[in-house]
Amino acid sequence: MTPDEARASLQKLDLDQEAVDVLFAHFADCEARGKLGHGFSRIPWLAEQPIDFGARATKRRGDDGVDRWDGNGAVGYLTLAAVCDDLVAQEIDGVRLVVASPCFPTGALGYWARRLATGGYVALVTATSPRRLPPPGGGTPLTGTNPLAIAIPSSDGASVVADVSMGAVTHGDVIAGHARPEELVPFGGPLAHKAFALAVGLELFVSALAGPEHSAVVLVARPEHDPVPGFRALAGALRLPGDA
């Protein structure tokens, strides 16, 4: 699918122009970074989901100091875009936890973490999804692929962004035809129990904060130090996570 075809496909959905622009920017960024499972191949799949494309998330501040967003059945991409815009606009001094529920699908979490790092935050983003990962020994899927993204801003303008799904492949790889459904297992081969443990931990962490629906949790803080330039110097020519 070409960029023009992708934009035209999004415009056929019940989306306003701002929402089309938000979704297209996400998919195009994934295409440019080689994350094709999160790129334009997602659009036909998205069109088949039971989502109210006209819905939008709303924010409510909890008494516990946590920002809570009600997804209202909106596209998860749009909910996370609103969360990121709100956090950057607030220019928070300190730490803020955000819980968005329901929030699905969420796309490439590194994309959202990078936006927050560009806004000057150290950021952590995680989200749950339909149960797709079985235990390492096989059986019924018990958790989502439950990705985790961590972004560290830098004075040199190049954030480090680690974005890891707990699956050996992603569901997006399956959608794009780059992997078979049976390959969707915890990564690590003989050490797959470690990825499964992380998937379980994130599943229950998000569910404990957000409830039983597919949801996202975001944590941001202002950095006290700037470790990235020194780490890049140590790494030399090595490509770091998140580099284009």
Residues whose CB is less than 8 angstroms from the CB of residue 111 and which lie 6 or more positions away in sequence, other chains included: 26, 29, 30, 38
Provide the pLDDT for residue 191. 97
Q: Could you tell me the two tokens for 32?
A: 């440019």
Provide the pLDDT for residue 244. 77
Q: Can you tell me the distance from the alpha carbon of 121 to that of 114, in angstroms, rounded to the nearest whole number?
A: 9
Provide the pLDDT for residue 62. 67
Q: Can you tell me the distance from the alpha carbon of 195 to that of 87, in angstroms, rounded to the nearest whole number?
A: 30
Q: What is the DSSP string of 167-209?
A: BSS-HHHHHTTSS-GGG-SBSSGGGHHHHHHHHHHHHHHHHHH
What three-state secondary structure class fits 12? coil
Domain range list for the chain: 56-235
Which contiguous run of DSSP H or E holds residue 31? helix 17-32
Provide the pLDDT for residue 81. 98
> How does pLDDT run along the chain (244 residues), one tens digit per residue?
899 999 999 999 989 999 999 999 999 999 999 998 899 999 999 999 888 999 999 998 766 779 999 999 999 999 999 999 999 999 998 899 999 999 999 999 999 999 999 999 999 999 999 999 999 989 999 999 999 999 999 998 889 999 999 999 988 888 888 889 899 999 999 999 999 999 999 999 999 999 999 999 999 999 999 999 999 999 999 999 988 7
Provide the pLDDT for residue 141. 96
Q: Can you tell me the distance from the alpha carbon of 17 to that of 169, in angstroms, rounded to the nearest whole number?
A: 33
Provide the pLDDT for residue 156. 86
Q: Which residue has the tokens 């329901």?
A: 102
Enumerate the H helices of 92-151 as residue ranges: 109-118
Identify the architecture of domain 56-235 in CATH. 2-Layer Sandwich (3.30)
